[in-house]
Structure 1
Amino acid sequence: MPRHALNRTDRPFQTAAERAEAGFGKTHTERLGTDVQLPFGYCALSLKAALDPVASPHGIVFEREFILNSLVKQKEDMKRVSALLAEQKARDALEEQVTELQAKRRKIQAFEQQELGSVVLSTAANSIADLNGSSSNQTSAKSTFRGNFSLSNIHANKLEQDEKKNVGDRDTSNFTFTSSRQEYIPVNLKQARQANFWVASDAPEAKKKRIDEEKDLKQHTECPITGKKLRLKDLIPIKFEIYDQKLFDDGGGRGMYCCSVTKKPITHQKVTLIKPSGIVCFNECVEKTIRKDMKCPVSGKDLRESDLVELIPGNTGFCSHNSIEAKSYKQMRTAAMINADRTGQCGLKGTMR
């Protein structure tokens, strides 16, 4: 007979390799197709064809409306963090003043105890003795009372009333009394809530998150894609030349724009934006024609090297052109992942799940 001792899934438990093969606790890698890649001329934020396109100095195409909203939101966040940082500094200064005052008060009390120690100590000893005497009398009276009567409901109510009287003039709105066969113990509900670590709002050690001036407070707005410095005046308007008007009217796609010099459609080729005129042309045209005399082929203006901005090309499904692999680590798999039409980490259109 064949050997079955080391067959898979024949153990009473599941090994790590078997769990990883089933999709649990494993880094999933999947090759992405062309339908996942962003075509050239699409906004990097809206993922749609840009109606009013602008480019960053790093060659990323945006829709003007979306990039302006992003920059405005960053400005608002910077103002909010700045206000919180000012409040934090004011609070720290106040706490420092309170600490200094408490230190001075302790020094004064220590000096008074040193100079008037006999009077203070005798007064404190007398007050402690009075308190101990009153508490012992109350305890003896309580034991005598409880020894003479049984703890029925009537007597229990009477004991509770006596305990509440012993509390004195203190505010009993936050107090409750726990009953047992031996004694009644007053419990301060406010102190109990403060000692409960499950309620973060009542816990005294629950402090607000401190703001780091170097990490949290930004000095300038950033590009939402690259994270580099980006200002409103750095945006460059683009004048795309439409190659397929029907494709553009239907929402856009690959090859809807063309080179302003060769009139060929732009799909995955490397292109360059000319700042003064806003036109886009292939890098091959730039190397062969524009760099010879450094003049714009449309307007005839003189150009500098800083006027040539290379745009991010459209991606393809070829690994030699751009990265086509997506990785995702999942500790567990959901029922939606298991029952999906397409297994793996990407959906029908390559959206990460």
Structure 2
Amino acid sequence: MTRHSKNCTASSVYSYHEKKKDAKASGYGSLNMRYGKDGVKDFDCCSLSLHPCRDPVVTPDGYLFDKESILEYIITKKNEVSRKMKEYEKQCKKERNELAELGEAEQRSQVEKFLNTEAAVASPSQAAQGEKSKVEKITGPSVSNMVAGRDKKLPSFWVPSLTPGNKETKLKKPDKTVYCPISGKQLKAKDLIPVKFTLADASSSSSLEGQRDRYKCPVTGDVLRNNIPCAVLKPTGDVVTMECVKLIQKDMIHPLTGVPLKESDIIELQKGGTGFAAANDHLTGIKARPVLQA
């Protein structure tokens, strides 16, 4: 096959490069775009409000939250569980009442059947009618759907509760456990650990919102950023770099207080996510658009 010239427009070949170029210009095909640094949540921001934490706390898994936001989330979830539990208990009570009514109706029908049988054997039909009226006085009217002309009535197609085949949705017993909104693991208020950041410049503590370099490691003095792995020392809540953690792990002694540490006292702080459903793992946004057919 001969090589195409630059001005050749009669070719039946539609290359991948041409397809991508046309899709970008015409708005067809999936659009991929990588998030920039402005679209990534800072490591010291709350995972719920996405703002710098005023009173930071961290979960045992290393996810940072503002104390006010996470406590409000826990209270909201508990109130929701309480509401669902009341609805579930109401449904259970209704089912118990229905079972009790069915049991009483079955007992009445058995008594009625027994008395009718005895009356038919011992006396003529009039006596049987008299016994039936006595039974109705004692046990009440029959609940059968085949007496008193009830078998001629059709269910209503206009009333939702009487529509044929209408079934009530049964509620499942709600789970009382509150889960972390980021990790999906069980979350308790008592497990939240207070965090203490060391200011990079103590004189500018009033305007942390607009600063990029807000905090530093209290041991090494390195400025903390998203690209620097950090960890929280559980006994005091100080945030240090992972390079400092490597030095701490040699002696397992707190560098600021001298208190012995355990491996569980070092909590790696999770990096700032994108603020979207996929955080840390996928930093690319994909938008599906109509496909351009060749």
- TM-score, structure 1 normalization: 0.58
**Which position in structure 1 is the counterpart of 2:111?**
108
Partners of 2:155 and 2:11 in 1: CA distance: 61
Quick one: distance in 2 between partners of 1:110 and 1:120?
16
Give the C-alpha shift of residue 114 in structure 1: 3.2
Between 105-114 and 233-242, the greater mean CA deviation after superposition: 105-114
Distance 1:29 1:86 in 2: 49
SS in structure 2 at match of 1:284: helix
What is residue 275 of structure 1 aligned with on the other side?
234
Q: 1:75 aligns with which of 62, 74, 78?
A: 78
Separation in structure 1 between the aligned mates of residue 155 and residue 209 of structure 2, nearest angstrom:
59
CA, structure 1 residues 112+221, in 2 after alignment: closer, same or farther (shift >3 Å)?
Answer: same
Residue identity in the other structure for 1:38 = K
Q: Check whether the contact 1:254–1:266 (CA below 8 A) recurs between aligned residues.
A: no
Residues 122/285 of structure 1: CA separation in 2 closer, same or farther (3 Å cut): closer
Structure 1 pair 292–100 and aligned structure 2 pair: CA distance change class (3 A): same
What is the match of residue 211 of structure 1? 171
Whether contact under 8 Å (1:272, 1:281) holds in the other structure is: yes
Name stretches of at least 5 consecutive residues in structure 1 with no aligned partner. Answer: 8-17, 124-190, 333-353
Pick from 119, 144, 150 the counterpart of residue 125 of structure 2: 119
- Cα distance in structure 2, aligned partners of 1:41 and 1:224: 17
Amino acid at match of 1:55: V
- The answer to whether structure 1 residue 263 and structure 2 residue 206 are counterparts is no
Report the CA distance shift for 1:207/1:102 in structure 2 as closer, same or farther (over 3 A).
same
- Offset at residue 222 of structure 1 (A): 1.7
SS of the residue 1:98 aligns to: helix
Counterpart amino acid of 2:254?
A: C
How far 1:323 moved relative to its partner? 2.3
Measured against aligned partners, the alpha-carbon deviations of 1:297-348 in whole angstroms (never above 9, x if no partner) come to: 11111111111100112359xxxx8521134567x9xxxxxxxxxxxxxxxx
- Equivalents in 2 of 1:3, 1:192: separation in Å? 72
Partner SS state of residue 61, structure 2: coil
- Structure 1 residue 67, shift from structure 2 partner: 0.4
Unaligned runs of 5+ in 2: 1-8, 15-22, 130-152, 275-279
Residue 38 of structure 2 aligns to a residue in which SS? helix
Asked if structure 1 preserves the Cα contact closer than 8 Å seen for 2:57 and 2:64, the reply is: yes
Cα shift readout 1:207-253 (whole Å, capped 9, x = no counterpart) = 5532212xx322x3221211211111100101101225658715145
Question: Counterparts of 1:129-144 in structure 2 under 5 Å?
Answer: none
Per-residue deviation, 1:264: 1.4
Partner of 1:56: 59
Structure-2-length-normalised TM-score = 0.69
Q: In the alignment, is the contact (CA less than 8 A) between 1:49 and 1:252 conserved in 2?
A: no
Give the Cα separation in 2 of the matches to 1:92 and 1:298: 62
Counterpart of 2:50 in structure 1 is 47
Rg (Cα) greater in structure:
1
- SS of the aligned residue for 1:221 comes to coil
Alpha-carbon contact 2:62-2:269 (below 8 Å) kept:
yes
Q: Is 1:277–1:298's contact at 8 Å kept on the other side of the alignment?
A: no
- Please name the residue that 2:194 is paired with: 237
Identity %: 29
Q: What is the number of residues matched between the two proteins?
A: 239
